[in-house]
Amino acid sequence: MYIALLPLIIFIVAIVFLNTYVAKQNKQKRQVLVDAFGDKFVFYKKYIKAEVFTSGRKNTSLIFNACHIYTTDDALFIFGYKDLGVFTIDIAPIIITNNSNHYYSASVVKPKKFNPHSFNQDVYIEFGESGWQTTNVEIRLKGLTNDEKQYLSFLQ
């Protein structure tokens, strides 16, 4: 009877190992970016609640429910993670900027829409396109004050 469960147990252990490995790689990418641009950051805030909606190709590597944000003079760095109570799974870093020539080592995207005073005073950011092979992403950052939103004004 227990022998029949063995493939299922091996499959679950493999999935957990793979997720742990990918999250560790994403955490290392985050640290490389923070070290590389550390002196250029003008603002940062950690532990922000977020809502992310995707359409088109479902790219689960862009879905998170909390994040840390860092800003330079012309870019917003989003280090998203999935908060699962005791566990967190780090997501690949996203850099949102209109000037993509200076940034590397992560997903560098240009914002399509930006609204710092969206519904419920959330910060609304949209990028990408919805299609068969592309993903449109809508991010809502929650709980930022008006003073903190001023640091994101370069996205308009």
Phi, psi of 96 (to 5 degrees): -110, 120
Query: Are 111 and 62 spatial neighbours (Cβ–Cβ below 8 Å)?
Result: no
**Helix (H), strand (E) at residue 3:** helix 2-37
pTM above 0.75, yes or no: yes
What are the boundaries of each domain within the chain?
A: 2-155
- The gap from C-alpha 55 to its chain's centroid, in whole angstroms, comes to 16
pLDDT of residue 105: 64
pLDDT of residue 77: 92
The rounded average pLDDT for each run of 10 residues, N- to C-terminus, in the chain (156 residues) is 82 87 86 86 93 86 90 92 83 87 78 90 92 90 92 85
pLDDT of residue 119: 85
Rounded to an integer, what distance in angstroms lies between the CA atom of residue 136 and that of residue 18? 26
Report CA dihedral (26, 28, 29, 35) to the nearest 10 degrees: 150
